[in-house]
A = this chain, B = another copy of it.
């Protein structure tokens, strides 16, 4: 197997988007993989995770990661099966977590994959509730948000892979959890299935009034993953000493340059000042050393005991990843968006 020529069908960055990505920014191609070198593994990709942060990697603008180059394979977390291995401890047939991107096959350094136990949890959860999005929610809420019993936690994109976990962990901490989501179906799911105390539809014309109504004691933690008008609505409801973990800003990733006014920064900073707010940006990687072992233990337990529930939105075929990704940035997915690249 290791000497065999393997082809990978893949999506590459064809051009950088201006504003929202369009089809022309992506290109489907087939490439021949290099032979498997010493210390490497050959992977067959099964699941590909699609996440909002990828929008940032498509641009050259300031970010925490280097931008992709034109013609690079689109980046992304993946669950894969090992077809061949020249890395000790990883064997053909093993399931692994890798960062192989939008493609069907890949050759990776064995040191950069992590073995998964397919019996412990469904494989795809390694990209969601038991993976990066789940850990983002866990670390951001517990390390920065620090809700205590009786406090009120608000999170937007509440039916998504991060927001859904934020609210459920908030409940497990004894806090009130309020979700913001787009449309009545997602709100019903957030309240009914996920057990948030309340869910508010940000598309409703009475969104501001409804949000104010369900937080009679104000908001102590606002887990920020959208930005934009939702943030403007939340700010006046924040309590003194409220914490705002800033995890993402999906509503603004497609904004070109400096948007038109009015200038919202003075009002924002005035809230920061007069309410003694803590606004803290983060990416999950900074918390791995301190929080990851606890996360794996807690979350595995919570998922098994159904105290934390999750939902996946599965799309078949790597060729459909661009359309699914464009929908993600518009909130059209419902649950963790995963591309099934191949059957398990």
Find A263's partner among B224, B246, B260 (CB 8 Å cutoff).
B260
The complex places the Cα of A246 from the Cα of B56 at a distance, in Å, of 28
Whether the pair A271, B62 counts as a contact (CB closer than 8 A) is yes
In the complex, whether A283 has a CB less than 8 A from a CB of chain B is: yes
In the complex, whether A63 has a CB less than 8 A from a CB of chain B is: yes
The complex places the Cα of A240 from the Cα of B62 at a distance, in Å, of 12
User: Binary interface profile of A, 242-276, with partner B (CB < 8 Å = 1, else 0)?
Assistant: 00001111001001001111111111111111111
CB of A133 to closest CB in B, whole Å: 16
Whether the pair B275, A281 counts as a contact (CB closer than 8 A) is yes
Whether the pair A258, B265 counts as a contact (CB closer than 8 A) is no
Known: A263-B264, A264-B264. 4 other contacts (CB 8 A): A249-B270, A261-B263, A268-B268, A271-B281
Whether the pair A280, B281 counts as a contact (CB closer than 8 A) is no
Whether the pair B276, A279 counts as a contact (CB closer than 8 A) is no
Find A265's partner among B240, B246, B247, B263 (CB 8 Å cutoff).
B263
- List, in ascending order, chain B residues with CB within 8 A of A213's CB: none
Find A258's partner among B248, B260, B262 (CB 8 Å cutoff).
B262
In the complex, whether A278 has a CB less than 8 A from a CB of chain B is: yes
- List, in ascending order, chain B residues with CB within 8 A of A268's CB: 265, 268
Find A281's partner among B252, B264, B265, B276 (CB 8 Å cutoff).
B276
In the complex, whether A236 has a CB less than 8 A from a CB of chain B is: yes
Most chain B CB atoms below 10 A, which of A62, A241, A265: A265
Can you name 11 A-B residue pairings with CB atoms under 8 Å? A62-B270, A64-B240, A249-B266, A249-B270, A249-B273, A264-B264, A265-B268, A271-B281, A275-B281, A277-B279, A277-B280
Question: Given A258-B264, A261-B262, A263-B260 in contact, is the A277-B281 Cβ separation under 8 Å?
Answer: yes
Whether the pair A282, B276 counts as a contact (CB closer than 8 A) is yes
- List, in ascending order, chain B residues with CB within 8 A of A274's CB: 56, 62-64, 281
Find A260's partner among B255, B262, B282, B283 (CB 8 Å cutoff).
B262
